[in-house]
């Protein structure tokens, strides 16, 4: 089976970085603080899967792979203090996010047209973080490459109005470790948790 899809990528834990920036500015006596975040992006995927059946059992075994592309989260902060006069800002973002996942699933056929498939995922990913810090006109920029391989899980629900062609929904939850930026002024978590929800088209070759 071949498939491709597009949907939403949401990073569930990036608000902690925003909270940390806001708390740091408040502790330093800044009176005007603005902090914002972006934790949702568009994700696309494409891949294939081989399924093995066990006689007439409705439950099979699948092995598949998929490639994904999306942008990562971002945040920005601006703080101003009058005594002494300090204006400081920081922005940090991850872009692009590229990943390749291997999955082992247990496809469950419900009748002839409905498929439900829980999956265990092993995802290899890479990204680049860019952090820009400016205080009273003195700036520092750091680019940090990050990559890793982390486990996760997924689930697929598909409807096949024809034997070869189907439509469905997928959810993959990926927890990526060791994603911290190079500058301490960008206090991201040590991991990012990416929930990818996609509508997909499926083509069965047999």
pLDDT in tens, 57-85: 999 999 999 999 999 999 999 999 998 89
CB atoms within 10 A of CB 133: 19
pLDDT tens by residue, 85-112: 999 999 999 998 999 999 999 999 998 8
For residue 202, what pLDDT is reported? Answer: 98
pTM of the model: 0.88
Tokens 């810090």 belong to residue: 133
Give domain limits for the chain. 2-203
Q: Please list, in sequence order, all residues whose beta carbon lies within 8 angstroms of the beta carbon of residue 198, skipping any fewer than 6 positions away.
A: 5, 6, 7, 8, 43, 44, 45, 169, 170, 171, 172
- Which residues does the chain have with pLDDT short of 50? none
User: What is the SS3 assignment for 155?
Assistant: strand
For the chain, the first-to-last Cα distance in angstroms comes to 8
Secondary structure percentages of the chain, helix, strand, coil, to 5: 5, 70, 25
């Amino acid at each position: 089976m071949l498939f491709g899809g597009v949907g939403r990528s949401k990073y569930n834990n990036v608000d902690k970085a925003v909270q940390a920036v806001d708390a740091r500015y408040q502790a330093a006596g800044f009176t005007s603080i603005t902090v914002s975040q972006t934790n949702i992006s568009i994700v696309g995927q494409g891949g294939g899967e081989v399924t093995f059946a066990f006689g007439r059992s409705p439950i099979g075994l699948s092995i598949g792979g998929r490639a994904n592309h999306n942008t990562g989260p971002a945040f920005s902060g601006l703080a101003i203090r009058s005594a002494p006069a300090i204006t400081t800002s920081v922005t940090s973002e991850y872009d692009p996010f590229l990943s390749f996942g291997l999955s082992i699933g247990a496809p469950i056929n419900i009748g002839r047209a409905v498929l439900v498939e829980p999956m265990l995922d092993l995802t290899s990913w890479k990204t680049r973080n860019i952090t820009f810090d400016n205080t009273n006109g003195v700036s520092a920029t750091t680019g940090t490459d990050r990559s890793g391989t982390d486990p996760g899980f997924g689930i697929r629900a598909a409807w096949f109005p024809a034997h070869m062609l189907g439509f469905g929904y997928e959810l993959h939850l990926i927890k990526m470790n060791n994603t911290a930026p190079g500058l301490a002024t960008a206090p991201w978590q040590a991991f990012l948790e990416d929930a990818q929800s996609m509508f997909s088209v499926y083509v069965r070759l047999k």
